[in-house]
Structure 1
Amino acid sequence: MQTFENNALVIGSDDFENQVPVPNGNYAPIRYNALKHGILSKLVVFPHEDRSEFDSLLTGLIEEHQPTEVTEIHLVEELASILWRKRRVLMGEGAALNSSLWNVAHEQHNKSTVRASVPLEVGLSNDSHDLIDLLTSGPEEMAERQRDAELDLAAPNKAAAILLKGGANAYKRARLALIEDSRDWWDSSVEEEEYPATAEGLTDFIDERLRPICYRMEKEARYQPAIKAQTLGEGVQAHRLEKLNRYETHLDRKFERTLAMLLRLKELRNRSYSNSEK
């Protein structure tokens, strides 16, 4: 039993002589009892959960609301248990989103995600996209990819302009204008006798192979934010979160009612103490 004697809280025991007055503001005994013997505290934390995290939450609520009677302690415990359940809801929501995103990013038969991100743009497909890499990319990485794609496109355009203008060593200068990877691809095509090592052959290579790929890569890099947003949006799958959302709303209302009850009880108790002192 807990009583007030001369404005001091007394933690009761069966032996009256062993009762120890606790000055107002010292809630260590209450905190200890709530953590050690609280009914809700024992049941709300599952074996696989971190008990210390719940204890920290409950301790913070006890220090904030400073309960002085059994009912108040129980209500504070109830607040802690509600917040702990809300924590589970958020963890469940995160798990559901992760599962959905994994499905969207890994389903090879689903070719609509990239195309749907920019529905009126042609030439986009999932085939050339690593959606996992895209989802984990930050704004700086996406900006760097776009700059690289623009440079990759500028190189064959420059080479084509050199070839179109012609003049001495046009073929040599155009070849050197290509980036290293494109130049290696061209040299390999020449070795395999797919194109002749001439200005005309290089022009055909740029028009038929190199420039179409560079255009597509530049377009895909330009639409990275839209593709990422589409993938994240498809991963939400709101219907899977509906039950969690309803449960979270229930917990919010329960928290509000419990908190209102606690504050009202403390108000009535303080008013009673004030009247008794008059």
Structure 2
Amino acid sequence: MSEQAVLIPNTLPPSPYETALLPWEDAEAFGQLREEYFIAYPPGCPAARHVLEQLVWCDWRRRRLVLGERALHMASLDNRTSGECRDSLSRRALAVSGGTRPEISSAGAIKNEDEDDAETEQMWAGMVEQAETAESLLEADGADCFAQAFACLPEETAEWFLETCETEEKYNQDRESLLRFLSIEVLPFFRKHRAGAQAGPTVRLQAWGESLDPHRMDRLMQLDERLTRQYEKLLGMLERATARRLRAAVK
């Protein structure tokens, strides 16, 4: 086969490595990569073609490692995170923080972004403010304080209070019950969820950091280093062979 013929993709012989592709790998993408190498380094003899095929396969395996590194991170995230509120990863992330215990799970945190947490925190902050306003009105014990405080509550919170009055005898639709309900049930609940949204970025950083498994990553990097050395060696052999062929053609 002439060098000119090699430049035409349809004339390329089958790759000896095609059968080594993994079931989910894109054979068309592999073929395109191979064509690019054959165009850039048209082999002038069987030995050069053999080196070129090895070079293509080495490059393809190096690209696999990119996917492998991501897979390691994702597997580690899955193993270390949990949907349970205040799970072990979240506790590690917030070990030195004080204040309200946040309502957050590591699995929930990694699904969000900082903008999502900021929006959620703003929502809970508004609900805390409404509940605190209602609490202040009840503590002042002014005329119609119950009606005024009840009107200050978010709609869902007002419904929550009415349903609780129906199901629990200790609560009635009066000033004392609403004040106790806000103090015991509502405000702690709101503050924990607000703190959870505030803690989201910190928990995410902890999860991402723990996904870096140094032992498994070290093995991956060693393989990458070996493949890189092999690639550079093969490329050097091919470039020297190409240079010799060009010099011979000039003579």
Is the TM value for this pair above 0.5?
yes
**Aligned pairs (5 A) from 1:1-278:** 10=2, 22=4, 27-28=7-8, 31-32=9-10, 34-36=12-14, 38-39=15-16, 41-42=17-18, 44-46=20-22, 49-106=25-82, 111-122=87-98, 123-124=100-101, 128-191=103-166, 192-274=168-250, 276=251
Moved more, 99-108 or 258-267: 99-108
SS of residue paired to 1:236:
coil
Higher share in strand: 1
CA RMSD of aligned residues (A): 2.7
Q: Aligned partners of 1:110, 1:103: CA distance in 2, in Å?
A: 16
Question: How many angstroms apart in 1 are the aligned matches of 2:25 and 2:190?
Answer: 52
Aligned partner of residue 223 in structure 1, secondary structure: helix
- Give the number of equivalent residue pairs: 249
Return 5+ residue gaps in structure 1 as ranges.
3-9, 12-21
Q: What do the CA deviations read for 1:192-245 (whole angstroms, capped 9, x no partner)?
A: 222332223222222222111211111111010111121222233221222122
Structure with higher RCO (Cα < 8 A, 6+ apart)? 2
Q: Which moved more, 1:147-156 or 1:160-169?
A: 160-169
Indicate the larger mover: 233-242 or 108-117: 108-117
Alpha-carbon deviation of 1:109?
Answer: 11
Instruction: Report the 3-state secondary structure (helix = DSSP H, G, I; strand = E; otherwise coil) of the residue aligned with 1:68.
Output: coil
Where do 5+ consecutive residues of structure 2 fail to align? none
The one-letter code sitting in structure 1 at the alignment partner of 2:219 is: K
Structure-1 separation of matches of 2:96 and 2:7: 65
2: CA distance, partners of 1:166 / 1:46: 74
What TM-score, normalized by structure 2, do the two folds share? Answer: 0.85
Q: CA deviation at 1:33?
A: 5.5
| Alpha-carbon distance change, 67 to 129 in structure 1, aligned in 2, over 3 angstroms | same
Contact kept? 2:85, 2:105, Cα under 8 Å: no
CA displacement 1:92-128 (0-9 Å, x = unmatched): 3333332222221248699321111122124436xx4
**Bigger radius of gyration among the two:** 1
Q: CA 1:247–1:154 in 2, change beyond 3 Å: closer, same or farther?
A: same
Q: Which amino acid aligns with 1:222?
A: Q
Letter of the 1:134 counterpart: A
For residue 27 of structure 1, what is the amino acid of its counterpart?
Answer: L
Percent pairwise identity? 23
